[in-house]
Chains A and B, each alone.
Chain A
Amino acid sequence: MTETKRMNMIQALNSALDVKMGQDEDVLVFGEDVGYFGGVFRVTEGLQAKHGLKRCFDAPLTEGGIIGSAIGMAAYGLKPVPEIQFADYILPAYDQLVSEAARLRYRSNGEFSAPVTVRTPYGGGIFGGQTHSQSPEAIFAHVTGLKTVIPSNPYDAKGLLIASIECEDPVIFLEPKRLYNGPFYGRPDEELKTWANSGLATADVPVGHYEVPLGRASLVREGSEVTVLAYGTMVHVAEAGIADAGVDAELIDLRSIVPLDIDAITASVRKTGRCVILHEASRFGGFGGELSALVQERCFDYLRAPIERVAGYDMPYPHAFEWDYFPGPIRLAEAIKAAVEYR
């Protein structure tokens, strides 16, 4: 029997880092405020005290420098796990990620590579306004050579982070900060539950080493009438929306968007004949567009309704209008009903 503990997502991520640092001296963690202080979200708490100053340390406030130096470390042979404090602030490092980390292996024909795991909290629903709420997954999905991983619960968070650190490719690891402390169903007026008292099995996290493989989606809810594709915070919102719609929907948590579990998606849509895609990022050019195109190409003969996309509106993430912007369960339920009632 593997020993498990009730953990929230922060503890699960912390545990993943702790396990990997314990196993492999080449794993090191750094970023703004991650060292002595333990990170603004406490994900790296205690790691410096336990593993030493040189294994988990603070970095100058320069995202380009953090990712650039991590690439150099990885080229040397280390397994750096840098943190970008908010995904909104990853853009100063975008050149490093796109032009360097993603292409180093390709352009050197395998001589050098950059297996860096970039952890960064993303997503809204926390009154973060324009620069503490963004969901930038689509701008990474378009970059050949990068993997992009997004957990939705403590169990997956730890297993996926371990798998990402062990992966030989650079990984953008987006952590839904709205889910750090407990599941969130997209109803801000509802009383919040912590992961510990959520009643969810996904908060039972093995204390030791395990992996959740990249590129494999998880079937959150089996259903026959419509397939809902979601990831991150939106997995829980989707559960609420499905319940509201009162439809027998199948819910797939993609977990990694690159590599994408295309087989799980096509199998489900071919079964249900309908597909609704849900993400928090703004709609135009969002990852939902890619998903929609793939489903259309691969499930055309099976589709009984147009593919629906429910997403953030095409604007910067607003502050006061957060819950109007946020694609919550009501909007999802409408889309599900539209798909099911089509013709």
Chain B
Amino acid sequence: MPQEDARVTKSNLPRLELHIPEPPSRPDTEVSFAHVNRGEAGAVRRPDIAEHESNMRDLPYELIRVLDDDDRAVGPWDPKLAPETLIKGLRAMVLTRAFDDRLFRAHRQGKTSFYMKSTGEEAISAAQSMALDKGDMFFPTYRAMAWLHARNYPLTTLCNQIFSNAEDPLAGKQLPILHSAREYDFYSISGNLGVRFVHAVGWAMASAYKNDTKISLAYVGDGTTAEGDFHEAMTFAAAYRAPTILCVTNNQYAISSFAGFAAPERLPFAAKALAYGFPGIKVDGNDFLAVWGATQWAAERARTNNGPTLIEFYTYRAEGHSTSDDPSAYRPKDEAKHWPLGDPVERLKDHLIALGAWDEERHAALEAELKEKVKIAVKEAEAIGTLGQSKPPIEEMFEDVFAEKDWRLKEQLRELKRRRAGDSAAGEGA
């Protein structure tokens, strides 16, 4: 049947080809950040917080920056912070870095099973921790510990959690750094990515439902935006105009996969907000002032019933994904050094020096002081015990599965205690 044949073979068309995204560079190639458009610091307009979304659709395609190449704060997004505030922020970032370095080593020494650094991304959660109010709830990822450092969370307690020792605030139930700190407005982290993005929206809806004044803030990494949870959160946030700030910490990688798998390379993650009908902005994540300014804007929008904002923090994961990862296996070794937006600590430091509020000596002293502080905290936690050397009471293992233990948990606890008693009796006999 000739007719059917004509339908099947359109012989003048090329064969289909499957596209597999590839990153701009690999370990054996030159570093290339040619695709990164830094724009100009201070150049992006800052619309009124009550501006209609339809008038802000250009924003996600621009990069909001405050600190320019001469270390000055410029443009409408400058939050105009006092130098003392900036120094506090710098302190939180330097502390985060010192803590990361020390605890990463603690892993290498077998004192904990796992650790993740946030090197290069400290400005984001440090600035947001300070910019938001007590009572606003943060739904973090595992790469946002600067939030706690900015609020002076006790370092020893953090180490106790990482060592799962007898004083672990999570009683040995959770993997290192998957923290929970309600008093610090820091929601419980868990291992499965993305899921808590929707919780932040529900939490914000509840706050609005109760005519409260609190807002929520949530993170997902660039890779995690591909999870359905991202879409669910965005849909809910839009429908109910939830007072929340949803953030994508775009550090260019999800373990070994480059961000191009979650969104086409030239499409900013911030632009995803457009499809949901609320503003998206793209912000230099290594610029403490830009992070603060953008957060303030989004927070004001949320607090005045103008609804949610999506913020893409454009940054770079300067170190390996975790203690289990070696990034030189999939990207050039020196890529971090070439990142066009620099290092957040250095940039804030240089800005403070340019303001005349800081100098290299004070900076060196700060680094030394915080290194010492971390060392002392780690020592204190080590004295309680490191992984396997010390544990919370075994009864804790059965607590908080439910508000109250049911018969299964009671029986199983009895059984475990009986076995332990038997073991130690046998041990004594031997």
Interface residues of A (CB under 8 A from B): 28, 54, 59-60, 62, 64-65, 68-78, 80, 92, 95-96, 99-100, 103-113, 144-145, 147, 167-169, 215, 258-259, 262
Q: Is the CB of A73 within 8 A of B170?
A: no
Q: Is the CB of A68 within 8 A of B232?
A: yes
Q: Is the CB of A105 within 8 A of B201?
A: no
Q: How far, in angstroms, from A104 to B192 measured CA to CA in the complex?
A: 12
> What is the distance, in angstroms, from B276's C-beta to the closest C-beta of chain A?
11
Q: Is the CB of A64 within 8 A of B188?
A: no
Q: Which of B171-206 contact A (CB under 8 A)?
A: 171, 173-174, 178, 180-182, 187-188, 190-192, 195-206
Q: How far, in angstroms, from A59 to B204 measured CA to CA in the complex?
A: 15
Question: Across the two chains, which residue of chain A brings its CB closest to B174?
Answer: A107
**Interface residue B339 (Cβ < 8 Å from any Cβ of A):** no
Q: Is the CB of A110 within 8 A of B235?
A: no
Q: Which of B212-261 contact A (CB under 8 A)?
A: 216, 228-229, 231-233, 235-236, 239
Q: Is the CB of B190 within 8 A of A107?
A: yes
Collect the chain B residues with CB atoms within 8 Å of residue A147's CB.
Answer: 402
Q: Which of B173, B181, B202, B396 counts the most A-chain CB atoms under 10 A from its CB?
A: B202
**Interface residue B342 (Cβ < 8 Å from any Cβ of A):** no
Q: CB < 8 Å: which of A28, A62, A107, A167 contacts B173?
A: A107
Q: Is the CB of A68 within 8 A of B182?
A: no
> What is the distance, in angstroms, from A118's C-beta to the closest C-beta of chain B?
14
Q: A107-B188, A111-B182, A145-B402 are in contact. Are A54 and B232 (CB under 8 A)?
A: no
Collect the chain B residues with CB atoms within 8 Å of residue A95's CB.
Answer: 192, 195
Q: Which of B173, B188, B199 counts the most A-chain CB atoms under 10 A from its CB?
A: B199
Q: Which of A71, A72, A92, A168 counts the most B-chain CB atoms under 10 A from its CB?
A: A72
Q: Is the CB of A68 within 8 A of B209?
A: no
Q: Is the CB of A111 within 8 A of B188?
A: yes
**Interface residue B71 (Cβ < 8 Å from any Cβ of A):** no
Interface string of B157-176 (1 = CB under 8 A from A): 00000000000011101100
Q: How far, in angstroms, from A110 to B405 measured CA to CA in the complex?
A: 13
Q: Is the CB of A69 within 8 A of B407?
A: no
Q: Is the CB of B407 within 8 A of A64?
A: no
Q: A73-B206, A147-B402 are in contact. Are A108 and B198 (CB under 8 A)?
A: no
Q: CB < 8 Å: which of B173, B178, B187 contacts A75?
A: B187
What are 12 A-B contacts defined by CB distance under 8 Å? A59-B236, A60-B239, A65-B236, A69-B202, A99-B192, A100-B199, A104-B188, A107-B190, A109-B169, A112-B188, A168-B402, A169-B403
Q: CB < 8 Å: which of A76, A78, A99, A111 contacts B190?
A: A99
Q: CB < 8 Å: which of A76, A105, A258 contacts B403?
A: A105
Q: Which 5 A-B pairs have the closest CB atoms?
A: A72-B202, A68-B198, A69-B202, A65-B232, A72-B199
Q: Is the CB of A144 within 8 A of B401?
A: yes
**Interface residue B399 (Cβ < 8 Å from any Cβ of A):** yes
**Interface residue B400 (Cβ < 8 Å from any Cβ of A):** yes
Q: How far, in angstroms, from A114 to B203 measured CA to CA in the complex?
A: 11
Q: CB < 8 Å: which of A60, A68, A76, A80 contacts B195?
A: A68
Q: CB < 8 Å: which of B209, B236, B407 contacts A60?
A: B236
**Interface residue B390 (Cβ < 8 Å from any Cβ of A):** no
Q: Is the CB of B401 within 8 A of A106?
A: yes
Interface string of B382-401 (1 = CB under 8 A from A): 00000000000000100111
Question: Across the two chains, which residue of chain B brings its CB closest to A78?
Answer: B206
Question: Across the two chains, which residue of chain A brings its CB closest to B396?
Answer: A109
Collect the chain B residues with CB atoms within 8 Å of residue A169's CB.
Answer: 402-403
Collect the chain B residues with CB atoms within 8 Å of residue A262's CB.
Answer: 407
Q: A108-B170, A108-B188 are in contact. Are A69 and B201 (CB under 8 A)?
A: yes
Q: A62-B235, A68-B198 are in contact. Are A109 and B209 (CB under 8 A)?
A: no
**Interface residue B406 (Cβ < 8 Å from any Cβ of A):** yes
Q: Is the CB of B236 within 8 A of A69?
A: yes
Collect the chain B residues with CB atoms within 8 Å of residue A107's CB.
Answer: 170, 173-174, 178, 180, 188, 190
> What is the distance, in angstroms, from A209's C-beta to the closest C-beta of chain B?
21
Q: How far, in angstroms, from A108 to B187 measured CA to CA in the complex?
A: 9
Collect the chain B residues with CB atoms within 8 Å of residue A112's CB.
Answer: 180, 182, 187-188
Q: How far, in angstroms, from A104 to B209 measured CA to CA in the complex?
A: 22
Q: How far, in angstroms, from A78 to B208 measured CA to CA in the complex?
A: 12
Q: How far, in angstroms, from A69 to B235 measured CA to CA in the complex?
A: 11
**Interface residue B323 (Cβ < 8 Å from any Cβ of A):** no
Q: Is the CB of A110 within 8 A of B200?
A: no
Besides the known contacts A69-B198, A100-B199, 17 further A-B residue pairs in the complex with CB atoms under 8 A apart: A54-B209, A59-B236, A65-B198, A65-B232, A65-B235, A69-B236, A71-B202, A72-B204, A72-B216, A73-B202, A73-B209, A76-B210, A92-B228, A95-B195, A99-B191, A106-B401, A107-B174
Q: Is the CB of B400 within 8 A of A65?
A: no
Q: CB < 8 Å: which of A60, A77, A111 contacts B206?
A: A77
Q: Is the CB of B203 within 8 A of A73?
A: yes
Q: Which of B170, B209, B216, B235 counts the most A-chain CB atoms under 10 A from its CB?
A: B209
Question: Across the two chains, which residue of chain B brings its CB closest to A76?
Answer: B206
**Interface residue B207 (Cβ < 8 Å from any Cβ of A):** yes
> What is the distance, in angstroms, from A18's C-beta to the closest C-beta of chain B?
19
Q: How far, in angstroms, from A68 to B173 measured CA to CA in the complex?
A: 22
Q: How far, in angstroms, from A106 to B403 measured CA to CA in the complex?
A: 9
Q: A95-B195, A105-B401, A107-B178 are in contact. Are A68 and B407 (CB under 8 A)?
A: no
Q: A60-B239, A107-B180 are in contact. Are A68 and B401 (CB under 8 A)?
A: no
Q: Is the CB of A68 within 8 A of B399?
A: no
Q: Is the CB of A72 within 8 A of B180?
A: no
Question: Across the two chains, which residue of chain B brings its CB closest to A114?
Answer: B199
Interface string of B45-75 (1 = CB under 8 A from A): 0000000000000000000000000000000
